[in-house]
Amino acid sequence: MPVLNSPTLRLFIGAALISLSPVWVKLVSVSPTTSGFYRVLIGGIALAVYLVFSGQRLQLSRRTWRILLFAAVFFALDLWFWHRSINYVGPGLSTLLANFQVFIMTAAGIVIFRQSPRPVQLFAIPMAVLGLALIVGLDWGSLPSDYRLGVIFGLLTAASYAGYLLCLRESRRDSRHRLPTREVAIISLVTAAILGLSSVVEGQSLAITTLDDAAWLVAYGILSHCLGWLFIASSLPHVSTTEAGLALLLQPTLSFVWDIVFFARPMSATELIGAAIALTAIYLGSRPASKQSQGAR
């Protein structure tokens, strides 16, 4: 399609598609682990088909394969925590919490890579905490136990996703390919194997019993995991860091919108202010990052 020749348009279409990820999870009646399994299985197969038609070969070193296995473990943990967080606190807040990976990546940059943080990054961290406090409420003890668990799972999602992004970046250190399509395809299929095993251990069935569930899971795997990621990854080398940061911001923002529109999430004025503060903090925290390192859910 000629309209998709615009990198900026691809970037924001991709962000919009990925913002629907928690919606599919909320709509299906299967277990959180099962929905994660089908996301990466369907999306991984679609990416593998893309690799076949694009003529790319899986010529990776042993070191890269080991790193990709670690990345798959982190991504499996990411989906395991995130899908439960979605069910407990809703698509909007769970996705906002997952995007706190920006601050974990900042901490990793300081501790692991000896990078000096910019003042705006340090300012963004307490700003994000303030925004989160306004959303969930200052009296933590009065919140329902499931809600508190959802918040904790959301933060564990952020930590797991940061681990995944760090492994993905390290796996591409010697890569000559512009896009990490091979790496993401491999991670997706290995993650599917991990989540499939997890379903067996948990006693959860992988059966899809309704056509509605099948449709939502295919949409999740193809639209959000495969096409959404391809649109974003293909556009990042051609857009500004500001545009990439705005796309990162668009994902949790739209997830909040879908939560309100599709699932009638009540939002008080205080919660709206908190969400705005937290989203601004995520944007400020992501601004110094390079275009290629921006993560997308």
Mean pLDDT (the chain, rounded): 90
Q: How many domains does the chain have?
A: 1
Other C-beta atoms closer than 10 Å to the C-beta of 288 total 15
DSSP assignment string, 65-132: HHHHHHHHHHHHHHHHHHHHHHHHH-HHHHHHHHTTHHHHHHHHHHHTS-PPPPHHHHHHHHHHHHHH
Other C-beta atoms closer than 10 Å to the C-beta of 264 total 7
| pTM (whole model) above 0.75 | yes
Over 90: is that where the pLDDT of 219 sits? yes
Give the model's pLDDT for residue 291: 41
Describe the chain by its helix, strand, coil percentages, rounded to 5.
80, 0, 20
Q: Of 135-149, 213-227, 238-252, where does the model show the most confidence?
A: 213-227
What average pLDDT score do residues 29-47 get? 97
Over 50: is that where the pLDDT of 229 sits? yes
Give me 277's structure tokens.
Answer: 């503060």
Q: Which of these, 237, 221, 204, lies nearest to 42 by C-alpha position? A: 221
Over 70: is that where the pLDDT of 297 sits? no
Q: In terms of residue numbers, what domain contains 171?
A: 2-293
What average pLDDT score do residues 176-203 get? 94
Over 70: is that where the pLDDT of 151 sits? yes
Q: Which amino acid does the sequence have at 107?
A: A
Give me 84's structure tokens.
Answer: 């439960």
What average pLDDT score do residues 257-271 get? 94
Over 70: is that where the pLDDT of 167 sits? yes
What average pLDDT score do residues 130-140 get? 90
Instruction: Output 48 or 178, whichever has higher pLDDT.
Output: 48
Q: Give the DSSP H/E element, type plus range, for residue 55.
A: none
What percent of the chain is modeled with pLDDT above 70? 95
pLDDT in tens, 74-103: 999 999 999 999 999 999 999 999 999 999
Give the model's pLDDT for residue 292: 41
Give the model's pLDDT for residue 289: 46
Over 70: is that where the pLDDT of 29 sits? yes
Over 70: is that where the pLDDT of 265 sits? yes
pLDDT band (50, 70, 90) for residue 293: very low
